[in-house]
């Protein structure tokens, strides 16, 4: 059965005693063509034999169940599924449902959406109004490569597990207890399309499961109200990780004394529970304060995380300075006057086995090279090198991040040293 250019619903009635229960049931083949709108006021059931392809707009004002095939036509950038109810809506099914764009708009008692099944989003999920709860109902929200979300906030997000597939940067639309508290990952491999990463936020004290007294010496205190889990479900790609803080959930001892005028030496970091050692380890962190002041912000580990699992925020006793008598100058003015024209790392020539990577504030790599400062091999404000953007173009004025890795040999043994920090470019 094809829907051409008009709305059509197949409604199946069950009469039980004096009650009449109605639902929209598909047992065959239904296609909603582009520029076509279909809606149902009743619970929608796509049975085991049902094939439902949405390339237009489908309004769902009640519950949804899929035991067959729910999808859209590959190659089309249409297909809009609208969960738009006035009572809490159940989203169920034994088979994953594939949507292109999906909107959640339900102002009823929260959580408005009870996710029992699996939803896969290829385009954008718009959290216009309502929390999608899969934590209490066993479902899963999956974002395909390049999929995104919009309008996430305390009233609209996913309370539970979210899986991200592919090799692109992703900000998890996750929260707990009525608070949206995102985490963001930046995979380091451009080819890892098959990789999968699952994230969740917990508004709970991690000390109950992961004792805070068990930590490396450089960590002084650990966030005792919240934590995140980021797991590499499939694949081998490493990630750079960003965690967010907010004064509504994050304890004051993490963010309360931050100095916006001098973030280079701030002591906020990302801590990870190392299951092998049974202790919290320091994953590093570059602090960025939110637009409205120190009450919100992010911490990014631009050093690739050394593992996956449980993460939270922490304070460290001191920042570890680079070993080997290196001095890093984190400001460049590439205007050709002979002063600060390139990123200077004084002493790096003594450690030729090194790598320097530069990222913009969104985590996109703009420069990378090895054997830095040999034969004029330096970063002078231009984007060039392997897997960079805008090749051979001057980068705009702004804040960037550097990651320096180098090998230091001492008494016949060698070890790799890593250092990350801010880099300021002013091309005026």
CB atoms inside a 10 Å sphere around CB 134: 24
Assign 392 a pLDDT band (cuts: 50, 70, 90).
Answer: low
Please write down the long-range contacts of 361-367, taking CB distance under 8 Å and 24 or more positions apart.
361/288, 361/398, 361/399, 361/400, 361/401, 362/169, 363/169, 363/184, 363/186, 363/240, 363/242, 363/300, 364/169, 364/389, 365/389, 366/390, 366/395, 366/400
Q: How many CA atoms lie within 13 A of 426 on its CB side?
A: 9
CA dist., res. 317 & res. 10, Å (int): 65
Give the pLDDT mean for 73-89: 93
CB atoms inside a 10 Å sphere around CB 400: 20
Range among 4-8, 82-86, 289-293 with highest mean pLDDT value: 82-86
Taking alpha carbons only, the member of 170, 175, 172 closest to residue 160 is 175
Greatest C-alpha distance within the chain? 90
pLDDT score recorded for residue 319: 62
pLDDT score recorded for residue 320: 60
DSSP string, 313-379: EEEES-PPPPSSS-EE--EE--SSSSSS-S--EETGGG--SEEEEEE-TTS-EEEEEESTTSTT---
311 against 17, higher pLDDT: 311
Instruction: Break the chain down into helix, strand, coil percent, rounded to 5.
Output: 0, 50, 50
Cβ–Cβ < 8 Å for 358, 380: no
CA dist., res. 108 & res. 89, Å (int): 9
Give the start-to-end residue ranges of the domains of the chain.
1-160, 196-320, 327-425
Strand 124-129 and strand 148-150: the pairing is parallel
pLDDT score recorded for residue 192: 79
Give the pLDDT mean for 227-239: 93
Range among 5-14, 223-232, 398-407 with highest mean pLDDT value: 223-232
Using alpha carbons only, how large is the chain's radius of gyration in Å? Answer: 25
Q: How many CA atoms lie within 13 A of 165 on its CB side?
A: 14
pLDDT for 291-345, tens place per residue?
A: 889 999 999 987 677 789 999 999 988 666 677 788 888 889 887 777 788 999 9
pLDDT for 129-139, tens place per residue?
A: 999 999 999 99
Is CATH 2.60.40 the right assignment for the domain spanning 327-425?
yes
C-alpha angle 391-392-397 in degrees, rounded to nearest 5: 100
pLDDT score recorded for residue 126: 98
pLDDT for 43-60, tens place per residue?
A: 999 999 999 999 999 999
What lies within 8 Å, CB to CB, of 272 at 6+ separation is 280, 281, 283, 305, 306, 307, 309, 310, 311
Assign 267 a pLDDT band (cuts: 50, 70, 90).
Answer: confident
CA dist., res. 72 & res. 93, Å (int): 17
């Amino acid at each position: 059965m094809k829907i051409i250019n008009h709305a059509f619903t197949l409604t199946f009635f069950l009469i039980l005693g004096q009650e009449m229960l109605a639902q929209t049931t598909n047992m065959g083949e239904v296609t909603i063509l582009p520029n076509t709108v279909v809606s149902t006021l009743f619970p929608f059931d796509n049975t085991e034999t049902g094939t439902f392809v949405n390339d237009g707009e489908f309004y769902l004002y009640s519950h949804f169940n899929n035991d067959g095939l729910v999808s859209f036509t590959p190659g089309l950038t249409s297909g809009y599924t609208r969960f738009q109810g006035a009572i809490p809506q159940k989203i169920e099914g034994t088979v994953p449902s594939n949507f292109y764009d999906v909107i959640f708009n339900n102002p009823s008692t929260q959580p408005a959406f009870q996710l029992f099944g699996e939803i896969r989003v290829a385009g954008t999920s718009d959290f216009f109004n309502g929390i999608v709860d899969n934590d209490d109902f066993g479902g899963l929200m999956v974002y395909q490569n390049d999929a995104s979300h919009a309008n996430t906030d305390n009233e609209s997000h996913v309370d539970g597990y979210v899986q991200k597939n592919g090799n692109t940067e992703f900000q998890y639309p996750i929260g707990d207890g009525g608070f949206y508290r995102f985490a963001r990952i930046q995979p380091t491999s451009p080819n890892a399309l098959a990789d999968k990463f699952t994230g969740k936020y917990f508004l709970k004290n991690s000390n109950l499961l992961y004792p805070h007294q068990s930590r490396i010496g450089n960590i002084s205190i650990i966030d005792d109200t919240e934590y995140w889990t980021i797991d590499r479900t499939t694949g081998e790609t490493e990630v750079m990780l960003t965690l967010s803080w907010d004064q509504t959930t994050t304890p004051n001892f993490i963010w309360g004394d931050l100095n916006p005028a001098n973030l280079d030496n701030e002591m906020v970091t990302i801590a990870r529970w190392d299951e092998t050692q049974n202790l919290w380890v320091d994953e590093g962190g570059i602090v960025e304060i939110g637009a409205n002041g120190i009450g919100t912000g992010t911490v990014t580990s631009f050093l690739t995380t050394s593992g996956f699992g449980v993460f939270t925020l922490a304070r460290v006793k001191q920042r570890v300075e680079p070993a080997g008598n290196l001095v890093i100058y984190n400001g460049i003015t590439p205007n050709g006057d002979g002063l600060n024209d390139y990123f200077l790392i004084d002493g790096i020539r003594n450690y030729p086995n090194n790598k320097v990577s530069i990222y913009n504030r969104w985590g996109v790599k703009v420069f990378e090279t090895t054997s830095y400062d040999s034969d004029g091999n330096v970063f002078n404000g231009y984007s060039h090198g392997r897997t960079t953007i805008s090749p051979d173009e001057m980068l705009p004025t702004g804040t960037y991040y550097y990651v320096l890795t180098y090998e230091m040999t001492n008494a016949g043994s060698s070890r790799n040293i890593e250092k990350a920090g801010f880099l300021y470019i002013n091309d005026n």
